[in-house]
């Protein structure tokens, strides 16, 4: 499941498509493009331009401009479980090696520009989403931009397990299962620990660990490159202290942690 780092890499691909005149739009997939009917998104974008590429958490959107130069609707893009944006030989987020033969139906949405370049959404599982003017009101602040003070106020409120609080997209947008495990391991905090038991120093350390994990994941190609992530399996050990990792469920999600260090 793409998390904030993977979606940021996809946003960077989008920036290459900005400013180009839109010649045509392929919005034939009425599941990916719901609730819009085929042709609705094309009619709204054709002749215009993409003028800005933005992200909050796992949600992408582009500002647009109409052919007459007036602001157009926002184009929302959600990658689902396995979606990729492809443009000019770039792919974001990076995925597995491409299939030898990619079926045409796996390309769920596309924009063809006047210069012949194409921006395409590739998704073998059909779980991605494209829509005009996406609603962002339910999302909390972006996990990569939240200040230490706001992080402490949002994450430290209530009695939920800290991992469950991190995964709540209305609290912070962009943290998924792997990023939560990586950040909590970096900060040496047990994932099931109630947030009301965390001290100010604990929350400051967790905020710092989250920022560090995000920067590393974006730099290295995704959250799967984290330090603890390759060790999240039966029989493996903490890469810091060598203790056997513990597995359980926190916040309804499969969770791994070091019982010797994460307290």
Catalytic residue chosen out of the listed positions 90, 126, 148, 253: 253
**Catalytic residue check, 58:** yes
The DSSP element (H or E) to which 8 belongs, if any, is helix 4-15
What is the number of helices (H) and of strands (E) in the chain?
A: 6, 11
**Catalytic residue check, 134:** no
**Catalytic residue check, 63:** no
Question: Residue 255 corresponds to which tokens in the numbers above?
Answer: 């969770």
The CA distance from 147 to 169, in Å, is: 16
- List, as one string, the DSSP characters of 19-70: TPBEEEEE---TTTTTTSPTTHHHHHHTT-EEEEEEEETTEEEEEEE-TTSS
The CA distance from 74 to 154, in Å, is: 28
Catalytic residue chosen out of the listed positions 58, 86, 152, 165: 58
Catalytic residues: 2-3, 58, 253
């Amino acid at each position: 499941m793409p998390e904030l780092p993977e979606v940021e890499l996809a946003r960077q691909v989008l920036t290459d498509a900005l400013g180009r005149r839109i010649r045509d739009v392929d919005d034939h997939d009425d599941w990916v493009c719901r609730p819009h009917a085929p042709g609705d998104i094309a009619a709204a974008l054709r002749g215009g331009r993409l003028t800005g590429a933005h992200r909050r958490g796992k949600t992408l959107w582009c500002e647009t401009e109409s052919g007459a130069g007036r602001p157009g609707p926002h184009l929302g893009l959600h990658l689902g479980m396995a979606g990729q944006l492809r443009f000019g030989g770039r792919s974001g987020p990076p995925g597995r090696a491409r299939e030898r033969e990619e079926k045409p139906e796996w390309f769920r949405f596309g924009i063809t520009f006047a210069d012949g370049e194409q921006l395409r959404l590739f998704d073998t599982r059909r779980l991605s989403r494209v829509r005009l003017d996406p609603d962002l009101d339910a999302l909390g602040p972006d996990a990569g931009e939240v200040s230490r003070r706001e992080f402490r106020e949002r994450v430290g409120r209530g009695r939920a397990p800290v991992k469950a609080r991190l995964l709540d997209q209305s609290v912070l947008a962009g943290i998924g299962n792997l990023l939560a495990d990586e950040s909590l391991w970096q900060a040496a905090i047990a994932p099931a620990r109630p947030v009301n038991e965390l001290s100010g120093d604990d929350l400051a350390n967790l905020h710092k660990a989250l920022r560090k994990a995000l920067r590393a994941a974006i730099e290295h190609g995704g959250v799967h490159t984290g330090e603890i992530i390759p060790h999240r399996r039966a029989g493996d050990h903490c890469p810091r202290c060598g203790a056997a990792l513990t597995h359980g469920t926190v916040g309804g999600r499969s969770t791994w942690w070091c019982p010797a260090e994460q307290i």
